[in-house]
Amino acid sequence: MQKQLILALILMVSSVDVAQVLYKYKQKTTHDLIVEHGYPAEHYKIETEDGNMLAAFRIPFSHKLQNQNTKRPIVLLQHGLLSSSDVWVVSGPNDSLAFLLSDAGFDVWIGNNRGNEYSKELKKPSWNFSFHEIGYYDLAALIDFALKTSGQEQKSLHYVGHSQGTTVYFTLMSLRPEYNAKIKTAHMLAPVAIMKNIHNECITCAANLIPVNGWMARYFSHKEFGKIIGSRSFSLCFDKECKNVLEKLSSEHSNKTALIESAKISQTGSWKQIFHFLFNYKSGNFQQFDYDTVRNLEVYKAEKPPKYPIEKITSEVHLWYIDNDELVPVDDVIALADRLPKKVLHHIEHPLWAHSDYYLHNEIRKYLNEPIIKIMRQYELDTK
């Protein structure tokens, strides 16, 4: 109990808007990183059905190919938790997926979810959201907007998500299955849905400290999670366990220049996102947010939150995973795959590859990005 009180105090301090201050020191935006390499860049504001604003970037064509007047299949890229559109461009044109896709002839859209720095600039959200709202509303809005705005009369697109960018896909496609028809191929990098077997000490420790249904979750669920103080509060609390948590998310093969570039943005999000993941880890289920019995009855008309109906995801889902991702254990990926109707498993054959290496690894091009592009191209050839 005493530990919980200390945690609560630190969480209160974390709600201070540090992120906003730090944002001013970030030098380059996704737009800058695209333009810097000679590619054309566009910046959009997108409104969601529930009144939030999202920022999206686009590389409409490749300046190398000069293919602005030919048909370019649309692809949408979506970042992970406490992250941003930067991740798809930080390793530069020889490695980062956005550039490689552009040079392969695709119309590349890069999303941001509500509340991250790019979207927050447009409109500060109520912090009462988790990956559920990001999937249900934000991802739907991004897909519809990209299809409508590309002006190429395409009815469907390719999708790539990293980490929470996969969770939001599973959320949208299971709860609004009509969206599956808008997907050509979907690539889940480090798929996060079932989280039963995580062995990252920081997560297991935090999950043990924060009770499901507790007053802490109720109080903090409507607050912002600031990056620096937020993660520091975790490390203050769980010093021993969490010291290396960030280091463990990258590996000795991570591109350090890109790592620094991607860390410059002061990532932010909501505490509810963090709690939702922790609760799902504790329950072992991929399910909606667990309030308390009374609130659950009001919101869901049931004492327990409903599980996401993964079985309704009929789109072609490619699951990309590794052996030693602390946040995405192989057993959980297999359990998820067992329930997906149409899936292809891709085990990345590299011994040293960590959670953030899906955009930072110095061999992402060979192990990940070229194989993904090959699958998308094959799809385009087969459906011509």
Which residues are tagged catalytic? Answer: 163, 355
Query: Cβ closer to ligand NAG: 164 or 369?
Result: 369
Q: Which residue is nearest to ligand NAG (CB)?
A: 92
Query: Cβ closer to ligand NAG: 14 or 255?
Result: 255
Query: Cβ closer to ligand NAG: 220 or 281?
Result: 220
CB of 126 to ligand NAG, least distance (A): 6
Distance, in Å, from the CA atom of 335 to the CA atom of 315, rounded to the nearest integer, reads 18
Burial class (CB in 10 A: 0-12, 13-18, 19+), 263: middle
Q: Which two tokens stand for residue 271?
A: 């505490």
CB of 241 to ligand NAG, least distance (A): 30
Q: Which two tokens stand for residue 335?
A: 């359990």
Neighbours of 218 (CB within 10 A): 13
Structural contact between residues 251 and 354, judged by C-beta atoms closer than 8 angstroms: yes
Q: What CA–CA distances, in Å, run from 317 to 10, 145, 171, 183, 343?
A: 40, 22, 13, 10, 5
Query: Cβ closer to ligand NAG: 100 or 193?
Result: 100
CB of 212 to ligand NAG, least distance (A): 16
Binding site for ligand NAG (CB under 6 A): 90-92, 94-95, 128, 222, 255, 257-258, 261, 299, 362, 365-366
Distance, in Å, from the CA atom of 138 to the CA atom of 49, rounded to the nearest integer, reads 8
One-letter amino acid for residue 126 of the chain: S
Query: Cβ closer to ligand NAG: 261 or 332?
Result: 261
One-letter amino acid for residue 379 of the chain: Y
The residues that bridge with 321 in the sheet, in sequence order, are 347
Distance, in Å, from the CA atom of 230 to the CA atom of 24, rounded to the nearest integer, reads 18
Query: Cβ closer to ligand NAG: 46 or 258?
Result: 258
CB of 340 to ligand NAG, least distance (A): 26
DSSP state at residue 178: G
Q: Which two tokens stand for residue 173?
A: 């496609």
Structural contact between residues 329 and 197, judged by C-beta atoms closer than 8 angstroms: yes
Distance, in Å, from the CA atom of 201 to the CA atom of 148, rounded to the nearest integer, reads 44
DSSP letter string, 112-171: --TTSHHHHHH-PPPS---HHHIIIIIIHHHHHHHHHHT-S--S-EEEEEETHHHHHHHH
CB of 222 to ligand NAG, least distance (A): 6
Q: Find the farthest-apart pair of alpha carbons in the chain and give their distance in angstroms, rounded.
A: 65
CB of 168 to ligand NAG, least distance (A): 15
